[in-house]
């Protein structure tokens, strides 16, 4: 139809529709640009980014990394990965951490290691952190990296029948430990920033292992909530969310002062989470940590470490109705596994490990001056 034939009255009527179409089209184009930019960045981050020379960046030989919960899973793999790169290690956790140190001594005999045995379920008690503080002060400005890894995973179905002690255990381990250790490490990170002797800047890093808590929304997904939470694990999920928000807030306060990485894992299969081996985009602890090491110093703030977890965040937008169903299945799997284990051996195994822990911690607490703790640390130290 020639333009000259259009009735001006009709044009007046459809003009508002054109404006709405234009707004919608702009929004869609804007969303697509955001998506493409983010996909390009993600592609680079997960497939092309190279790991930095971490030992050089974080102060060279003699620098220490502190890791909580290094007896298994990601903590264990990270301990080995940092040892391989030449860092000394202070590992804080259960008696089973001995196994990790034995492995490090065997594979990397030049690496120095210290262990502080702790049952983090008791992190709310007075003086719990005294010996850790003394060990931090003893390591001093060689304390280069803190990895807040420990998480106390508990699931129950239905929640109201869960033993109430589990609630306290998960909250204590999952919230107090990260908050206090971060609080204790930052003064040393600030001290390191300017090495008075050589005038050399030494970087430090805070790494928090939390969980997938949120996903980005785009296109039709913008109309839905962007939380990721798994049923039957409510207290554990909330403790991970605490770590996520604590880490994010610390990042906003200290960005540019030291490196901060809030890692948000999806399903990572470890010796404790074998039940996750059928979930979508699961990855072994070893592979996961290999990817994670590439993020350190290269990426700041919150990130997935593994492409599959990042992709799953985006796919949720395409199938929003499936999200709750899938998460329910994951929660059921973990809770069923936990309930089976807790009846069978979880509590007994933990009790044994932490009986040894309590005795060892008592010894350290008895000699709680810095000098004395250095002596105790020397006993646990292998050089
Ligand atoms: N695996 C996943 O799919 C996944 C997903 C999302 C987030 N995350 C987070 O990633 C982090 C590492 O998880 P992971 O799966 O690698 O862990 P994991 O294999 O279950 O190992 C947890 C570590 O923490 C220690 N630990 C737990 N409770 C403790 C306590 N009360 N006192 C002292 N040590 C304690 C364990 O020691 P013992 O076993 O010797 O007691 C072990 O060394 C956690 O913060 C977890 O919440 C994991």
pLDDT-derived band at 341 (thresholds 50, 70, 90) equals: confident
Q: Determine, yes or no, domain membership for 39.
A: no
Q: Determine, yes or no, domain membership for 280.
A: yes
Task: Give the mean model confidence (pLDDT) for residues 153-161.
Answer: 96
pLDDT in tens, 295-334: 999 999 999 999 999 999 989 888 878 889 999 999 999 9
Q: Determine, yes or no, domain membership for 72.
A: yes
* pLDDT at site 347: 46
Which is more confidently placed, 359 or 45? 45
Task: Give the mean model confidence (pLDDT) for residues 14-29.
Answer: 88
Q: Determine, yes or no, domain membership for 47.
A: no
- Pairing state of beta strands 301-303 and 283-284? unpaired
153 alpha carbon – ligand 1 mean position (Å): 7
* pLDDT at site 306: 98
* pLDDT at site 359: 35
Q: Determine, yes or no, domain membership for 29.
A: no
Integer Cα distance of 100 and 171 in angstroms: 26
Q: What lines the ligand 1 site, CB under 6 Å?
A: 69-75, 93-94, 96, 118-121, 149-153, 173, 209, 211, 240, 265, 267-268, 270, 272-273, 276, 285, 350, 353
Question: Domain with 311 in it: what CATH number?
Answer: 3.40.50.720
Q: Determine, yes or no, domain membership for 14.
A: no
Work out the mean pLDDT of the chain and round it to a whole number.
87
Within 10 A of 319 (CB to CB), how many other CB atoms are there? 11
* pLDDT at site 379: 33
pLDDT at 228 over 50: yes
Candidate from 23-37, 106-120, 358-372 with smallest mean pLDDT: 358-372
The whole domain housing 328 covers 52-380
Mutational test site, ligand 1, from 70, 79, 94, 237, max ligand atoms within 8 Å of CB = 94
Q: Determine, yes or no, domain membership for 67.
A: yes
Q: Determine, yes or no, domain membership for 273.
A: yes
Question: What pTM does this model have?
Answer: 0.88
Integer Cα distance of 178 and 66 in angstroms: 12
**Structural domains counted in the chain:** 1
Task: Give the mean model confidence (pLDDT) for residues 356-367.
Answer: 35
Helix axes 177-193, 234-254, angle to 10 degrees: 20
109: CB partners within 8 A, 6+ apart? none
Task: Give the mean model confidence (pLDDT) for residues 7-32.
Answer: 81
pLDDT in tens, 62-81: 999 999 999 999 999 999 99
pLDDT at 349 over 60: no
Task: Give the mean model confidence (pLDDT) for residues 352-371.
Answer: 36
């Amino acid at each position: 139809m020639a333009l000259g034939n259009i009735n001006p009255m009709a044009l007046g009527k459809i003009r508002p529709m054109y404006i709405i179409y234009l707004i919608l089209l702009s929004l869609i184009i804007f969303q697509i640009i955001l998506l493409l930019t983010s996909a390009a960045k993600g592609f680079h981050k997960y497939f092309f980014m190279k790991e930095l020379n971490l030992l050089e960046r974080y102060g060279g030989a003699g620098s220490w990394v502190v890791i909580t919960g290094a007896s298994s899973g990601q903590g264990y793999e990270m301990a080995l990965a940092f040892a391989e790169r030449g860092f000394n290690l202070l590992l804080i956790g259960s008696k089973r951490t001995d196994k990790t140190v034995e492995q490090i001594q065997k594979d990397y005999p030049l690496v120095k290691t210290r262990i502080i045995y702790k049952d983090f379920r008791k992190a709310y008690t007075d003086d719990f952190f005294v010996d850790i503080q003394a060990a931090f002060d003893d390591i001093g400005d060689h304390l280069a990296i803190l990895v807040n890894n420990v998480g106390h995973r508990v699931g129950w179905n239905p929640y109201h029948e869960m033993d109430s002690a589990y609630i306290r255990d998960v909250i204590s381990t999952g919230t107090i430990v990260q908050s206090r250790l971060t609080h204790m490490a930052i003064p040393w990170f600030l001290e390191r920033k300017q090495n008075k002797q050589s005038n050399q800047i030494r970087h430090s890093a805070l790494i928090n292992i939390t969980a997938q808590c949120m996903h980005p929304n785009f296109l039709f997904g913008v109309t839905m909530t962007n939380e990721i939470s798994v049923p039957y694990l409510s207290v554990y999920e909330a403790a991970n969310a605490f770590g996520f928000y604590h880490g994010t807030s610390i990042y906003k306060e200290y960005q540019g002062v030291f490196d901060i990485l809030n890692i948000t894992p999806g399903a990572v299969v470890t010796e404790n989470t074998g039940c996750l081996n059928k979930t979508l985009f699961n990855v072994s602890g070893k592979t996961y940590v290999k990817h994670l090491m590439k993020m350190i110093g290269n990426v700041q703030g919150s990130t997935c470490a593994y492409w599959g977890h990042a992709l799953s965040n985006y796919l949720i937008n395409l199938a929003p109705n499936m999200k709750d169903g899938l998460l329910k299945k994951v929660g059921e799997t973990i809770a069923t596994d936990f309930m089976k284990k807790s009846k069978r051996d979880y509590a007994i195994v933990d009790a044994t490990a932490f009986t040894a822990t309590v005795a060892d911690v008592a010894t350290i607490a008895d000699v709680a001056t810095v000098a004395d703790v250095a002596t105790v640390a020397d006993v646990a130290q292998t050089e």
